[in-house]
Homo-oligomer: A and B are copies of this chain.
Amino acid sequence: MAEYKAPLREMNFLLHEVFEADKLWASMPALAETADRETADAILEEMAKLAANTLDPINRTGDEEGCQWNDGVVTTPQGFPEAYTTYCEGGWGALVGNPEFGGMGMPKMLGAQVEEMICAANISFALYPVLTNGACLAIDAHGSEELKQKYLPNMYAGTWAGAMDLTEPHAGTDLGIIRTKAEPQEDGSYSITGSKIFITGGDHDLSENIIHLVLAKLPDAPKGPKGISLFLVPKILVNEDGSLGERNGVSCGSIEHKMGIKASATCAMNFDGAKGWLVGEVNKGLAAMFTMMNYERLGVGIQGLGASERSYQSAIEYARDRVQSRSPEGAKQPEKAADPIIVHPDVRRMLLTQKALIGGGRALSTYVAKWLDISKFGEGEEKQHAEAMVALLTPVAKAFFTDKGLECTVLGQQVFGGHGYIREWGQEQLVRDVRITQIYEGTNGIQALDLIGRKTVANGGALFELFAADVQTFIDANADNEALAEYIQPLATELQRLKDVTAAVLEAAKQDPNAPGAASVEYLHLFGYVAYAYMWAKVVSVAAPKAAADDFYRSQVKTARFYFARLLPMTAGLAGSVLAGSETLMDLEEELF
């Protein structure tokens, strides 16, 4: 497998040329002093090295070895503890953390690129710090001052890792029915008892402590999602002076044997009267969890992008090296026994599909991260508008990046032919690893329901109109730009198609409670394709003027043309499917399946 080379040129292009990150940063007081182009460049270059030199080399071995569970103790594969130490010593755990508690306060636009590199190199590894980041976000947003001071600095430093304990054997999507109990104690803490499953990084040997954020119910809590509270439960109790004390009643009962991400410990956790502290308000645990969910879900989407990029890099290398059959145009390398397979139209289709989906996804990821930054660091109406955009686009990013992540890694594997199925080549691991991203952090079906339901039907399409207006503004601004003519008209057509389909679903939902669910997944894919078209048009608007003189920009423009010509047409089929409505979905009696 080709060595991983971080796509720094693409990242810098998106950050600074397409989305003008430095201007945004300069305009925001909280960022003006910490983030600038020079710092960003240095950070990206450092992570590129760490990813290539430290994380990538233990990706295959980690898959082969997997995590081990022995008598309640989880051991990560060889090299993982050392890599984690290197990661923490580089200060990476603090990158986007709150400066009041030792964080660097960097913007998510930058964090998104950093995450992509980590995930491209090693998704299993990435999950340990990613979960810690998520826990830090929740503590920072909802924890008491005391909790923040006690836990955040060590978590940013990575000395203590984080874990999120939501799922129970009978309660996955439906957290309202969890059974884990939290009983108030006289000292203000709570006694937590219950069993959780699928806890990523629930136990491991990377850090000296693990801070669990646990959803549980108070004895008198209302039924359903409005009776859930959030608790901070450390694996090892922390003394007043910050030193580690006794072991808490938290234990790992087993780890799962999975299709992929085998170097990530997926734990069954038992809480036996474990000591915990309330985070946020009683019965508002789900809401507290959801404030950081947008970051986490974008992060999972980025895992899909990272795996796609990794697969693409290997596939290109293979397609240039492997000789097999002749070009349909006649021999291209007559001195060899055959031509490199990159001459074949269908191999190019596979590679270009990867390239176009990764490029569109990376642009959309940066665009969503920009709205996240504005929603965090901005003020007033600007902030509100950004929050709305984040709410709408997060499920698209999570589900579309990862659905396309499976498609991309399968394509990369297919380029390798039979060798793609053999473990040593590494392509099949990417398929197995990326598959989980369509499932966890809310399945992609749940994302789609969130997009069309809570984010669209529930507000009569108000959020959608904000996005549509943003696209329309771009279309209007470029209406007379001849260099963009071949993109602007199709983009306008596709936007109209998406508007029409959205209106149709809004209308159908008035009568038919099944309409949103019936539309959901194809609607999200339709939305994703149109959003990528918008992204590629934006990319071209910057790249086209420089394309004649520069290979990089020309490559961007040609990939955009491929996207519009060959991939965007899929919207016609998706729209047709959505518009067919719920009738044929709901008609078959349960016993006749």
> Which A residues are closer than 8 A to B by beta carbons?
167, 170-174, 176-177, 197-198, 256-260, 316, 319-320, 323-325, 328-330, 337-338, 342, 344-352, 355, 406, 410, 413-414, 417-418, 420-424, 428, 431-432, 435-436, 438-440, 443-445, 448-449, 513-514, 516-518, 520-521, 551, 554-555, 558-559, 561-562, 565-567, 569-577, 580-593
Contact = CB atoms under 8 A, between A and B. Distances in A.
Nearest to A340: B590
B586 A345 contact: yes
A584 B557 CA distance: 11
Contacts of A584: 352, 558, 561-562, 565-566
Given A570-B577, A585-B352, A346 B172 contact: no
Contacts of A329: 513-514
Nearest to A429: B259
B417 A439 contact: yes
Nearest to A555: B592
A588 B198 contact: no
15 contacts: A172-B418, A198-B418, A257-B424, A346-B520, A349-B518, A349-B585, A413-B435, A414-B444, A417-B439, A418-B439, A421-B435, A565-B580, A569-B575, A569-B576, A570-B577
B172 A417 contact: yes
Contacts of A342: 590, 593
B328 A259 contact: no
A575 to B, nearest CB: 8
A23 B351 CA distance: 49
B514 A423 contact: no
Contact of A572 (B319, B350, B573): B573
Contacts of A571: 573
Nearest to A560: B584
B592 A566 contact: no
Q: Is the interface of A mostly helix, strand, loop or mixed?
A: helix
Contacts of A330: 513
B588 A562 contact: yes
Contacts of A328: 513-514, 516-517
A338 B558 contact: no
Given A414-B438, A566-B580, A346 B445 contact: yes
Given A349-B521, A517-B346, A551-B592, A587 B558 contact: yes
Contacts of A513: 328-330
A428 B338 contact: no
A585 B436 CA distance: 31
B585 A561 contact: no
B414 A325 contact: no
Given A324-B173, A588-B348, A421 B436 contact: yes
A421 B172 CA distance: 14
Contact of A345 (B174, B347, B444, B520): B520
A562 to B, nearest CB: 4
A339 to B, nearest CB: 10
Contact of A570 (B197, B445, B573): B573
B585 A577 contact: no
A319 to B, nearest CB: 8
B418 A440 contact: yes
A344 B521 CA distance: 13
B325 A173 contact: yes
B558 A588 contact: yes
